[in-house]
Structure 1
Amino acid sequence: MGQYAAPLRDMQFVLHELLNVEAEISQMPKHADLDADTINAVLEEAGKFCSEVLFPLNHSGDQEGCTYAGDGVVTTPKGFKEAYQQYVEAGWPALGCDPEYGGQGLPAFVNNALYEMLNSANQAWTMYPGLSHGAYECLHAHGTPELQQRYLPKLVAGVWTGTMCLTEPHCGTDLGILRTRAEPTSDGSYAISGTKIFISSGEHDLAENIVHLVLARLPDAPKGTKGISLFIVPKFVPNEAGEPGERNGVKCGSIEHKMGIHGNATCVINLDNAKGWLVGEPNKGLNAMFVMMNAARLGVGMQSLGLTEVAYQNSLTYAKERLQMRSLTGPKAPEKAADPIIVHPDVRRMLLTQKAYAEGARAFSYWSALHIDKELSHGDEAVRKEAADLVALLTPILKAFLSDNAFESTNHAMQIYGGHGFIAEWGMEQYVRDARINMIYEGTNAIQALDLLGRKILGDMGAKMKKFGKLVTEFVEAEGIKPEMQEFVNPLADIGDKVQKLTMEIGMKAMQNPDEVGAAAVPYLRTVGHLVFSYFWARMARIALDKQASGDPFYKAKLATARFYFAKLLPETAMTIRQARAGSKSLMDVEEALF
């Protein structure tokens, strides 16, 4: 079954030494009283819940899966419901929510750290509260006061859960052609009919009510994405007391049988004149839903970090214990029949790849969550705007780069186990299966790449990208003259220059042929992802250099991992840059008949 322990030391390093969150939140009035000790205490308790309650259910939940009993009834694997009750009773759903609705009001970066641990312990289970938090954020931003008072306290308490219902059998990402319809009724509600598919957490037995956020079209809606509205459709319509009342016309028709995340019910949802209420303005539903979609994309990043971390922990333990052959430079454990496989260079390559990607992702994702806090809560409007632009720019990288890396890392973990890697009882093959879906849902990674290059960078002539570039330039200028930082700053400056030139080249080509964007987008995102990681690894190396004299082996390990990243992983960009520059001709000149 394996093991999981929350990486508290590295989490605290990122929060307090890299990001200095206590100083940052002092500029946010609603968080100014929060201190490091409180943050650490919350994370320690969360780590215990994840390792002791959730992790033991991960393998069994994957083996059992969810069960569709007919007539819309779905049961989750054994132990899931009891774990969810413990989660609710401990107040974890309320951690990052508004105190006005019963929340604890902690910053997004604390909630983000919680979700890293939850996903390491059990990604399939974590999707139930994860989607509920996204529904909370959407209603908190766009719901009417009446809807907020009715639904938010229940979502914050965790007694109701949430979903987002976008995809239909004939359309996934292309929401402009969705067909679900919403007819106005005399009581101010809407009768909603249609079919949605691939709805994660769409039906289950964990909570007393499920709140669906559904995209649909009004009768007079214009075609395309400009004619989409958003509706709240509860499983049970709340009565006057705010408790679950009559059964609504929304029901699970079946559940999908997937390659991974078996413990989460992925549902076909049928809506038959279901009662719904408008969220936001008519025909502006996609704008409102983007709050939840972006939250989900950040959530996928945390799923990917979580899987990378737990796969690394287990493959590291195995590599230290598994005996196989002798070291090429002579026996390292002569008293044993063979050496542990961690002595072999390629095993070390795979372990260090996982470690570098996990720790780089932690720095990047926690920094992003801190910037969400700045966007929402900072006292300076200019700081809020700057943070919003950086979060918008980097969200597709957070989703796609981290999920690509997680799939690579979990594959490395399975490879380290050798023949045991593809045997279910060891758990590694489950991580590979679970990680693979993260590259697909919430917008495939190719969609994220198009969003990054086409909308976020070329769409505003590189204005947002220049803001991140400024952070890189300032760091390079401050550290570039210091001899001990050359091995980190020089490659960071180099990849920064190359990204700038590559962006300009693709932009010029795209003016003549828009297919150039589509051809370059995926390797371009991979290149920029490495720029982001290079920036954070250089910053972490600076701290480790400053503190290595303390004798704490943590800093020695951090430096060693930074050196590995720059020596072995960043050079991937030599290939991705060439791929991005290669253009669309070799793709688009091939006639369809030749495929």
Structure 2
Amino acid sequence: MPTYRAPVRDTLFVLNDVLGYGNHDNLPGFADASPDVVEAILAEGAKLAENIMQPLNRVGDMEGCVRNDDGSVTTPKGFDDAYRQYCEGGWLGLATPAEFGGQGLPYTVHSAVSEYLVSANMALMMYPGLTQGAVAAILAHGSDEQKKKWLPKMVEGTWTGTMNLTEPHCGTDLGLLTTKAAPDGKGGYRISGQKIFISAGEHDLSENIIHLVLARIEGAPAGVKGISLFVVPKVMVDDEGELGERNAVSCGAIEEKMGIHGNATCVMNYDEATGYLLGEENGGLKAMFTMMNEARLGVGLQGHAMGEAAYQAAVDYARERLQGRALSGPKAPDKKADPIIVHPDIRRNLMTIRAFNEGGRALILWTALKSDIAHLSDDAKEKEAASDHLALMTPVIKGVLTDKGFDHAVMAQQVFGGHGYVEEHGMSQFVRDARIAMIYEGANGIQALDLVGRKLPQNGGRAVQAFFKEVGEFCEAHRSDEAMAPLTKALKKGLNDLQAASLWLMQNALQKPDNAGAASYDYMHLMGLVALGLMWGRMVKTAQDRLAEGGDADKAFLEAKIMTGRYFMERVMPETAAHLARISSGSDTMMAMPEDAF
């Protein structure tokens, strides 16, 4: 069965050497999380992931969640104890303000640790993950009274949270939702309707579940302008914070699904349940996007984490499995065959996954650092630039890293051959679990449309122009460095393709919107490749500098980093040309076929 080793060394390399994490100690929370402290936190998070969470991953997949006759849900064996240890360690509130019981540490640190825990057990980590999204929404839009009432218990994990958006007839198009909210005459509302696909909607890990529910107040405008967001507790809470009667909200069923069996994905029924308005009346869409943006970064991390876990299992197998001889001659002459890791096609799979994993980790942590700057900096210009980066990269991280996370889980499964298809080695779980990340929190086609339709033109294209400038300046700064030439030339070519694609959209999308729709998915992946390429350029430059300074103790690690970066530029970055070609072909052929011809 798969094992897991948290990539602490690689995380520290990215944080300290590439991103200069320690240079941000002027920001609130960073002084309390110095590089030494962060290293200790990562080490402890690694132990939790490797020793507690990972052994339960297979258990969760095999057992799944069970809905009992009374509507309660039992989670897989061991989940309750693992969740308790997670909460007792203070992990849920790592980046939450101290005034509500959190530790007030940077979101960057939270993101780094989250990778390990999600790689170890994605289904289990969805319970606190949904809670963190709900906490973020209450922090941003709740009244002081609401924050005081709901947040402390959620931050400590005694209560968990959910997001209730989707309805049977209403997924992405939230304007179609029919869940109703009627004033109850006591300052609250009666919530009635049904929600589906609600992750962690009912379970036995916490004593209460705080549902955040989108609904339409009676008489509200049609469409998205008439949506409000409500806090609907599973169990009522009095003014002293004590639990009371059960609210009129129940789990009608657990969805039978492809993966993440250890997480209870529920059909939730609201039968005039008591709810409380969160934020402004008819301002639910704005409040929802606080949850969604936080969740989209988290889902991008999930895709990356599944790719990492699957990669580690494939590497272990490739080193042990003996099949055939190397094309260049036997590598293990004392054995009947060579380990399959000597074969170029196995290397192609492993190197491709590794290149995306290490580049993706750097992109996630870079963006997490930008999130901290956007929320904590008192420098208006720095804050604006960080916010622009965060807005631009959120759909890229969600869309690209989840697409690739699934692709790479499949590639890792392929390394096992037939042994990857049977359940003995557990590889199918990575494939099945990774698949959902491409769909929920906005399917990846929606992420692409968000990038092209909203993020590119926002503020006159300020964010994307700043990104072009950053990539171009990196290439120019190292243009005369012969050791960097293989990377900067490939990165510059990728940037040229991205700029050409952007120009094409400017010239062809406004008068013909289908051109934007047809181009959006390729554009998202094209931008993703350039962003990952920039990360690889920075990592390779850092590794070369450290070797030049005499980093002999890390020589093998740094040389491997350089080789992986070169592989990315040689074998992956050329895909930008194919994306540009598809973008430039327009939408005519795609949209010409009559519907009844399909």
Cα shift at 1:306: 1.1
Cα shift at 1:505: 0.9
Residues in 1 aligned to 2:68 and 2:581: alpha-carbon distance in whole angstroms: 52
CA contact (8 A) 1:71 1:253 kept: no
Residues in 2 aligned to 1:220 and 1:61: alpha-carbon distance in whole angstroms: 44
Residues in 1 aligned to 2:180 and 2:507: alpha-carbon distance in whole angstroms: 42
Aligned to 2:2: 2
Cα shift at 1:34: 2.8
Is structure 2 residue 485 aligned with structure 1 residue 482?
A: no
Aligned to 1:44: 43
Aligned to 1:465: 464
Aligned to 1:493: 492
CA contact (8 A) 2:498 2:576 kept: no
Residues in 1 aligned to 2:321 and 2:208: alpha-carbon distance in whole angstroms: 48
CA contact (8 A) 1:254 1:268 kept: yes
Q: Which moved more, 1:540-549 or 1:385-394?
A: 540-549
Residues in 2 aligned to 1:30 and 1:303: alpha-carbon distance in whole angstroms: 25
Cα shift at 1:481: 2.0
CA contact (8 A) 1:520 1:583 kept: yes
- Aligned ranges 1:151-190 → 2 under 5 Å: 151-190=150-189
Superposition RMSD in Å: 1.0
Aligned to 1:527: 526
Name which of 577, 580, 590 aligns with 2:580. 577
Post-superposition Cα deviations, 1:427-469, rounded to whole Å, max 9, x if no partner, equal 1110001111111111111000000011101354422101111
Cα shift at 1:30: 3.9
Is structure 2 residue 279 aligned with structure 1 residue 276?
A: no
Is structure 2 residue 558 aligned with structure 1 residue 555?
A: yes
CA contact (8 A) 1:458 1:507 kept: no
How many residue pairs are counted as aligned between the two chains? 594
Name which of 581, 593, 598 aligns with 1:590. 593
Is structure 2 residue 210 aligned with structure 1 residue 207?
A: no
TM-score by length of 1: 0.99
Cα shift at 1:344: 0.1
Post-superposition Cα deviations, 1:197-237, rounded to whole Å, max 9, x if no partner, equal 00001000000000000000011211111110000000001
Residues in 2 aligned to 1:129 and 1:379: alpha-carbon distance in whole angstroms: 30
Post-superposition Cα deviations, 1:526-580, rounded to whole Å, max 9, x if no partner, equal 1111010111001111011112342320000000100110111111222111111
Residues in 2 aligned to 1:434 and 1:285: alpha-carbon distance in whole angstroms: 30
Residues in 2 aligned to 1:336 and 1:447: alpha-carbon distance in whole angstroms: 52
Aligned to 1:238: 237
Aligned to 2:19: 19
3-state SS in 2 of match to 1:281: coil
Residues in 1 aligned to 2:475 and 2:570: alpha-carbon distance in whole angstroms: 18
3-state SS in 2 of match to 1:231: strand
2:280 maps to amino acid: E
Unaligned runs of 5+ in 1: none
Cα shift at 1:374: 0.2
CA contact (8 A) 2:215 2:227 kept: yes
- Aligned ranges 1:61-210 → 2 under 5 Å: 61-210=60-209
Residues in 2 aligned to 1:568 and 1:540: alpha-carbon distance in whole angstroms: 17
CA contact (8 A) 2:33 2:106 kept: no
Post-superposition Cα deviations, 1:76-106, rounded to whole Å, max 9, x if no partner, equal 1000011111111111112111001111011
3-state SS in 2 of match to 1:105: coil
Residues in 1 aligned to 2:90 and 2:32: alpha-carbon distance in whole angstroms: 20
1:499 maps to amino acid: L
CA contact (8 A) 2:310 2:408 kept: yes
CA contact (8 A) 1:29 1:379 kept: no
- Aligned ranges 1:232-311 → 2 under 5 Å: 232-311=231-310
CA contact (8 A) 1:137 1:291 kept: yes
1:144 maps to amino acid: S
Cα shift at 1:363: 0.1
2:21 maps to amino acid: V
2:87 maps to amino acid: V
1:558 maps to amino acid: K
Residues in 1 aligned to 2:81 and 2:28: alpha-carbon distance in whole angstroms: 37
- Aligned ranges 1:410-489 → 2 under 5 Å: 410-489=409-488
Identical aligned residues as a percent: 50
CA contact (8 A) 1:320 1:340 kept: yes
Post-superposition Cα deviations, 1:248-282, rounded to whole Å, max 9, x if no partner, equal 01111000011100000100000010000001100
Aligned to 1:351: 350
Aligned to 1:318: 317
Residues in 1 aligned to 2:483 and 2:563: alpha-carbon distance in whole angstroms: 14
Residues in 2 aligned to 1:477 and 1:264: alpha-carbon distance in whole angstroms: 48
CA contact (8 A) 2:119 2:302 kept: yes
CA contact (8 A) 2:74 2:204 kept: yes
1:440 maps to amino acid: I
Residues in 1 aligned to 2:466 and 2:279: alpha-carbon distance in whole angstroms: 31
3-state SS in 2 of match to 1:473: helix
Cα shift at 1:33: 4.1
2:294 maps to amino acid: A
Residues in 2 aligned to 1:78 and 1:489: alpha-carbon distance in whole angstroms: 51
Post-superposition Cα deviations, 1:316-372, rounded to whole Å, max 9, x if no partner, equal 011011000000111000000100000000000100111111101100000010011
2:8 maps to amino acid: L
3-state SS in 1 of match to 2:166: coil
